Amino acid sequence: MDFTRHVARLRHTKNGEPRTVPLSPAAYRILSDLRDDNDADRATVFGMTTGAITQAMDDARRRSGIEDLRFHDLRQEATSRLFENTTLDVMEIKAITGHKTMQMLARYTHLRTERLVEKLNGEADGKEKPLAFFIEKPANPVKHTLTRPKKYTTPWGRK
């Protein structure tokens, strides 16, 4: 953790490449509260082994009654909500989630249709409707006439 820069340094990641991830203000506050100033150089944030985290997840899943929830599902959920609830662009989200390719990022993203409808209607964030520019009738519409393209001949025949 680098509390001065508000980032987490992840040395061991799923894709095998270490990376630095920015912390949201809420994540920063929570991690700051958990911080032990006497042990600032320790490798783990929560002082738990991987096995202990897995066991805690299994216990929480069992208590919740959600049988098919895996720890990894939380990454998919977080990725999807970053797209729905922030103004971050695709490349910024890809940097945070650590996906190596756009294809993998797309595979992990599951957007809720209802949220997309809200965004199209301008209800999600109070901003102007994103499609209004394309849908609203202009004050002075320009009339266009479609004409057939002229036939032409190519060296290998008529087109």
Q: Which amino acid is at 54?
A: T
The token pair that represents 102 in the structure block: 């756009």
Cβ-Cβ contacts under 8 Å for 109 (sequence gap 6 or more):
76, 79, 80, 83
For the stretch 50-89, pLDDT in tens is: 888 889 889 998 999 988 888 888 888 889 988 888 888 8
Q: What is the pTM of this model?
A: 0.63
Domain ranges of the chain: 1-47, 67-152
For the stretch 116-139, pLDDT in tens is: 888 788 776 555 554 444 455 555
